[in-house]
A and B are shown apart, each in its own frame.
Chain A
Amino acid sequence: MPLFVIVGHDGPDALAKRPVVRPRHLDHLRPLSEAGKVPIAGPLFADDGKTPRGSLIVLEAASLDEARALAARDPYVVEGVFARHDVMPFARVFPESVGS
């Protein structure tokens, strides 16, 4: 299954919105994660290492359109935690494994 990376960039109110919206964001991703379709995901931080600046989500989807649709339904997008987000096709190179 093709991989895609979603990079969300936090908006100005994200620090206050994140704790409120996060449970729904996690509920959105959890079924995908439990189906093994989210190899890695998590927040991106500012230089202080604790203030969030956005999120990175790597996920499996059938197509770029499906990945974009999944991103568009993410509560972080719907409820304005992200000011903008990018969805790009992605290819895994590392970690290397036999047969990959």
Chain B
Amino acid sequence: MTVTPDDERPHPAASEPSWVESTWLELHDATSQLAGIIRLDDRPNLRTSEVSFSFFLPDAGFVTARHVTPQAGDRLDVVEIEDARLETVEPLRRWAVKYDGPSHSLPSVAETGSREAWSKSRLERLIVELELAAVRDAVGGRASFAQLVHVSGEVWVSGDRYEIATSALRGRSWGSGAVPRTMTRVSLTFGDERALLARLQKPDGEPGDAEALDGWTLADGVVRPVQAMRVEPADAGPGATAGGAIVVTDARGEHRIRVELPHVAPMPGAHGGRSYELRIGAARAIWDGCEGRGFVEQLR
């Protein structure tokens, strides 16, 4: 699809109660080693808006803040939910994200799936002050778009300051909100010149349903659709870091991207009577000698 500034505005909702329009930002700063996911989920049929800030800290800690309101208000360029403010300064070009409020933290990201750990979570004051500027035009996908941006600003966790200056990916998607049967999603940036965003998923239908692939590579200033993707897990062993290789094929050929996942957050969930676990890994990657950062998500 061709992306226009109107795509920064809400799209017509279908009738499913869980229909959701999501705006997201994924950043992983190499210098501060802070990785973060910021999401705004609007569910017009449920009349709710939800904003969440999740940060993987360099010491393997995890900080998250989440707020849900009945509705985000009437303005299209500014969304204010509790202590969060998300502004579209110029559609598809510039944005600002602010938050100053409470958050909960865990000493280890590996505990994100533990109710007991959350019951003991520590209250932290989280401040987010980020400005986003487009580096590339948005690339349209299946009821979605995404683009390479540059993020600058600060994140503070109870007085700990993380300076952010990094390439990142942001985007928007809209659809039924159905949770696929399986999914592997990779979002990586390698400076301002190279990126990979791809999702391989099997719908939650019959067991024989085919996997669907959606995504693109950016290299040499050219965006190319991803034609194939597979994950080759790393050999397990004492002291081994989770990860492996992401092998993607585009019009230039096959590319092997080595990935390490030093911090992985297990996120259990349930949808439509089915339990699942989404594992979100803050990733370090190497592609043709270029160092990159981002996230690898796997749903099983």
With a CB–CB cut-off of 8 A, which chain A residues contact B122?
26
Total A-B pairs in contact (CB under 8 Å)?
Answer: 31
Q: How far is the CA of A23 from the CA of B107 in the complex (A)?
A: 8
> Does B156 sit within 8 A of A, measured CB to CB?
yes
Residues of B within 8 A of A30 (CB): 107
The smallest C-beta distance from B65 to any residue of chain A, in angstroms, reads: 15
In the complex, the answer to whether B58 meets A19 with C-beta atoms within 8 Å is: yes
Q: 1/0 per residue B159-182: CB within 8 Å of A?
A: 111100000000000000000000
Q: Which of B58, B59, B158 contacts A43 (CB 8 A)?
A: B158
Contact of A45 among B107, B159, B160 (CB under 8 A): B159
- Whose C-beta in chain A lies nearest to the C-beta of B61? A23
Chain A residue nearest to B60 in the complex (CB):
A23
Asked if B296 is at the interface of the complex by the 8 Å CB criterion, the answer is no
Most buried by A among B159, B161, B162: B159
Residue A42, interface by CB 8 Å: yes
Q: Are A22 and B160 in contact (CB under 8 A)?
A: yes
Question: Which of A18, A42, A49 has a CB less than 8 Å from the CB of B160?
Answer: A18
Interface of B is mostly: strand
A45 to B158: give the CA distance in the assembly, Å: 9
**A23-B59, A23-B107 given as contacts; is B162 within 8 A of A42 (CB)?**
no
B40 at interface by CB-CB < 8 Å: no
Interface positions, chain B 30-63, Cβ under 8 Å from A, are 58-59, 61
**Docked complex: A5-33 residues within 8 A CB-CB of B:** 15, 18-19, 22-23, 26, 30
List, in ascending order, chain A residues with CB within 8 A of B160's CB.
Answer: 18-19, 22, 52
Q: Is the CB of A50 within 8 A of B156?
A: yes
- Neighbouring A residues of B156 by C-beta, 8 Å: 50
In the complex, the answer to whether B159 meets A18 with C-beta atoms within 8 Å is yes
Q: Which residues of A contact B158 (CB under 8 A)?
A: 42-43
Nearest chain-A residue to B58 (Cβ)?
Answer: A19
Q: Which residue of A lies closest to B162 (CB)?
A: A19
Which residues of the other chain, B, contact A45 by a CB distance below 8 angstroms?
Answer: 159
Whether A15 and B61, one on each chain, are in contact in the complex, defined by CB atoms closer than 8 angstroms, is no
Bound-state CA distance A42–B157 (Å) is 11
Contacts of B61 in A (CB 8 A): 23
Q: Evaluate contact between B161 and A15: CB separation under 8 angstroms.
A: yes
* Nearest CB in chain A: distance from B114 CB, A: 16
Verify if B127 is at the interface (C-beta below 8 Å from A).
Answer: yes
In the assembled complex, 8 residue pairs joining A and B whose CB atoms fall closer than 8 Å, in A order, are A18-B159, A19-B58, A22-B59, A26-B107, A50-B127, A50-B161, A52-B159, A52-B160
| Known contacts A18-B161, A19-B160, A50-B100, then 11 further A-B pairs from the complex at CB < 8 Å, ordered by chain A residue | A18-B159, A18-B160, A19-B58, A19-B161, A19-B162, A22-B59, A22-B160, A26-B122, A43-B158, A50-B127, A50-B161
Chain A residues with CB under 8 Å of chain B are 15, 18-19, 22-23, 26, 30, 42-43, 45, 49-52
In the complex, the 10 A-B pairs of residues with the closest C-beta atoms, listed nearest first: A52-B159, A43-B159, A19-B160, A23-B59, A50-B156, A18-B160, A50-B127, A43-B158, A22-B160, A15-B161
